[in-house]
Amino acid sequence: MEGKRILGVDPGSGRLGLGLIEIVNNKPHLIHYDCITTTPNAPETQKLKHIYEELVHRLSEIKPDVLTIETLFFTRNVTSAFSVGQARGVVLLAAAQANIEVTEIAPLRLKKVLLGNGTAKKKDIQNFIRHYFDIDDKKKLGDDAADAVAIALSQVLQPET
Distance, in Å, from the CA atom of 156 to the CA atom of 96, rounded to the nearest integer, reads 22
**pLDDT reported for residue 136:** 86
**Residue 78 burial (CB count, 10 A):** 9
Question: Is 144 a catalytic site residue?
Answer: yes
- For the chain, the distance separating the N- and C-terminal CA atoms, rounded to the nearest angstrom, is 16
**pLDDT reported for residue 75:** 60
Which residue out of 10, 22, 34, 147 is catalytically annotated?
Answer: 10
Distance, in Å, from the CA atom of 15 to the CA atom of 158, rounded to the nearest integer, reads 26
Which residue out of 22, 34, 70, 147 is catalytically annotated?
Answer: 70
Which residue out of 2, 22, 44, 144 is catalytically annotated?
Answer: 144
**Domain 5-157 homologous superfamily, CATH:** Ribonuclease H-like superfamily/Ribonuclease H (3.30.420.10)
Mention every residue, 6+ apart, whose C-beta is less than 8 A from residue 66. 4, 5, 6, 7, 100, 101, 102, 103, 155
Residue 33 · residue 152 · CB < 8 Å = no
Q: What's this model's pTM, rounded to 2 decimal places?
A: 0.92
Residue 13 · residue 86 · CB < 8 Å = yes
Q: How far is CA 105 from the centre of its chain?
A: 10
In sequence order, what are the beta bridge partners of 34? Answer: 18
Average pLDDT per block of 10 residues along the chain, 161 residues long: 90 94 94 94 95 97 96 68 88 97 93 88 91 87 92 86 47
**Alpha-carbon distances of 61 from 44, 55, 98, 132, rounded to whole Å:** 26, 10, 11, 26
